């Protein structure tokens, strides 16, 4: 059973008719999404004027270094605050997808790095625990997180203005999640081409796309992402309401 609604049981012929009706809507949405993706790729570029420097495990790295010889760079702004032992489960859920995906998009001229304000020792400890191999650097002491809309000062938070997600969200905190895209041209000039926050990040979480195919959907009976844990905190077997049709 899905929620409190009993499933409708029909013949295969009736199911096929309903499925074909939905397929028409799916195709319409696919065409709309493709048009949106074209618009996204056509957004203007903003030059990155500041020289950002990050702390890596072995040495300091510039924003240009993070491109790793490619012309495009995806940055995930991971919520990991200096001195805090809290690991954002949403950020971790999304980053669990990265290592498998990047073996493909690196061949398509796209590099990836996560960035947090936490010191590199704190980052490395989380990275080892989670078993991730993607690059994850510290922006501690720089303006990077603030300039790209994922970190906010105590004064900004106290003022209570809508600043997050391009001023459309009233939620504020010292560190919030996001993703930003950068491009480097043949003259090594770097440009900011795109950023997304809040539900815009869902497109990076492939597990959601699988869950959206099934009757229970994302199964968020206890609230948004209520069942999500760090992947080393899941029980061996899922203990929540496991029966779809019981």
Structure confidence at residue 79 (pLDDT): 96
Q: Give me the mean pLDDT over the 10-36 stretch.
A: 97
- For the cut 70, the answer to whether the pLDDT of residue 245 exceeds it is no
Task: Give the whole-number percent of the chain exceeding pLDDT 90.
Answer: 82
Distance CA 92, CA 75 (A): 14
Model confidence, pTM: 0.90
- For the cut 70, the answer to whether the pLDDT of residue 107 exceeds it is yes
CATH code of 46-204, in short, is: 3.40.30.10
Q: Please provide the average confidence, as pLDDT, over all residues in the chain.
A: 92
pLDDT band at 220 (very low <50, low <70, confident <90, very high): confident
Structure confidence at residue 89 (pLDDT): 94
Beta-strand runs (E) in 12-141: 46-47, 53-55, 60-62, 72-77, 110-116, 135-138
Structure confidence at residue 3 (pLDDT): 53
pLDDT band at 134 (very low <50, low <70, confident <90, very high): very high
Structure confidence at residue 239 (pLDDT): 47
Per-domain residue ranges for the chain? 46-204
Alpha carbon of 133 to those of 99, 128, 165, 189: distances in Å?
7, 8, 28, 28
Q: Is 96 exposed, middle or buried (0-12, 13-18, 19+ CB in 10 A)?
A: middle
- For the cut 70, the answer to whether the pLDDT of residue 147 exceeds it is yes
Beta-strand runs (E) in 13-119: 46-47, 53-55, 60-62, 72-77, 110-116
Structure confidence at residue 237 (pLDDT): 55
């Amino acid at each position: 059973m899905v929620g409190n609604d009993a499933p409708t049981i029909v013949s295969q012929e009736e199911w096929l008719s309903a499925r074909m009706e939905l397929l028409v809507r799916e195709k319409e949405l696919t065409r709309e999404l493709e048009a949106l993706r074209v618009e996204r790729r056509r957004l203007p570029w903003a030059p990155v004027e500041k020289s950002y420097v990050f702390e890596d495990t072995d040495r300091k790295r510039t924003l240009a270094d993070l491109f790793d010889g490619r012309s495009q760079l995806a940055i995930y702004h991971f919520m990991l605050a200096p001195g805090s032992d809290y690991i954002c489960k949403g950020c971790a859920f999304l980053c669990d997808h990265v290592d498998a995906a990047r073996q493909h998009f690196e061949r398509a001229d796209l590099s990836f790095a996560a960035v947090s304000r936490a010191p590199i020792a704190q980052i490395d400890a989380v990275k080892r625990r989670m078993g991730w191999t993607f690059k994850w650097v510290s922006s501690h002491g720089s303006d990077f997180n603030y300039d790209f809309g994922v970190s906010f000062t105590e004064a900004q938070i106290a003022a209570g203005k809508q600043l997050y997600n391009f001023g459309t969200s009233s939620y504020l905190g010292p560190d919030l999640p996001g993703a930003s895209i950068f491009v480097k041209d043949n003259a090594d000039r770097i440009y900011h081409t795109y950023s997304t926050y809040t539900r815009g990040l869902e497109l990076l979480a492939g597990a959601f796309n699988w869950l959206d195919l099934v009757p229970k959907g994302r199964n968020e009976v206890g609230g948004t992402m209520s069942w999500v844990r760090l992947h080393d905190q899941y029980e061996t077997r899922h203990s929540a309401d496991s029966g779809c049709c019981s």
